[in-house]
Structure 1
Amino acid sequence: MMSEKLAEQFDSDKVAAFNAGLLHDISGIIPNSKRISFAEDLGITILPEERMFPMIIHQKISRVIANEVFNIDNQQILSAIECHTTLKGDSTKFDNIVFVADKIEWDQKGTPPYLNNILKSIDLSIYHASYAYIKLLINQKDNLKVVHPWLLDAYNDLTNKVN
């Protein structure tokens, strides 16, 4: 699993990375059309961007499912699950490991168009790899359905970390 490989590469907890890798998309069982009401039932704070594009809220729902159904109480794992799609400002190394692993292990056919940028940047640091991906998104933000505020926070934070 990519999250384990990256955890080893960046001297982080491989078992925690494996668990985060297994559970980060667990809420995929909930159809997009039901995610907002499901999140409301769980008491999750829903941002306007998540209401406009409900797929994004799956990261927050997955955190709750990991905690309440699978009894994961490791805050490092829960944090990484919660931001694996958008990342967030002041993200930890572990958050970035799970985020980058999610981008490398693309859930669509073919090769991700951004993969080479990530793989070139990963040799510098896990933060550079996250930044490479997010910078591509920011550069084409007019083509995105929404720009999640956490993504903007991550971009600003990583801009400072990598420069």
Structure 2
Amino acid sequence: MADKKTIGIYKEYLKEHLSKKRYTHSVNVANSAVELAKRYGADTDKAYVAGLLHDVAKEIPSLELAAIVSKSTLDVCDIEKKAVPLFHGIAGAELVQTLFDIHDPEIISAIRYHTVACGNMPKLSQIVYLA
């Protein structure tokens, strides 16, 4: 898991880029994700990070999100490219890689898929979706 200093960096970024309500939501999702991870045998540290950062892109303007999604290296289907409400999950998964150098596939997947339930989701993705 990221150390306290790194978590502090994540939180500072979120405080600067999200509304107070969205920041509080993100912290609450992180805490709920940890509880679910304990219950279902997933990595609690990864659950906290993914839960905390799941909405990192939530308040970015739509046009900017669309630009990130259009350049995404993730597997983005044509339907997703037209579904604006889903953009922040895809963009968030891209941003945590560039902003915070997070490349853990479980964390990236959990952030990327937190808005949709899809078949055969990894355990951490399911946890963040539920949290």
How far has the Cα of 1:27 moved from its partner? 0.7
- Aligned residues, how many? 101
Unaligned runs of 5+ in 1: 102-163
Aligned to 1:86: 116
CA distance in 1, matches of 2:65, 2:128: 22
Aligned to 1:9: 39
Larger radius of gyration: 1
Unaligned runs of 5+ in 2: 1-30
Question: Do the aligned residues in 1 keep the contact of 2:117 with 2:129 (CA within 8 Å)?
Answer: yes
How far has the Cα of 1:26 moved from its partner? 0.4
How far has the Cα of 1:81 moved from its partner? 0.9
How far has the Cα of 1:92 moved from its partner? 1.4
CA distance in 2, matches of 1:90, 1:13: 18
Question: Do the aligned residues in 2 keep the contact of 1:35 with 1:55 (CA within 8 Å)?
Answer: no
Aligned CA-pair RMSD: 1.9
| 2:114 match: secondary structure | coil
| 1:29 match: secondary structure | coil
CA distance in 2, matches of 1:12, 1:88: 19
CA distance in 1, matches of 2:121, 2:73: 23
1:34 aligned to 2:64?
yes
Aligned to 2:83: 53
How far has the Cα of 1:45 moved from its partner? 5.6
CA distance in 2, matches of 1:32, 1:72: 24
Question: Do the aligned residues in 1 keep the contact of 2:70 with 2:81 (CA within 8 Å)?
Answer: no
How far has the Cα of 1:34 moved from its partner? 3.2
Partner deviation per Cα, 1:22-81 (whole Å, 9 max, x = no partner) = 111101131124321232244556544334431212111111111111111111111111
| Percent identity (aligned) | 27
TM-score, normalised with respect to structure 1: 0.55
CA distance in 1, matches of 2:108, 2:72: 16
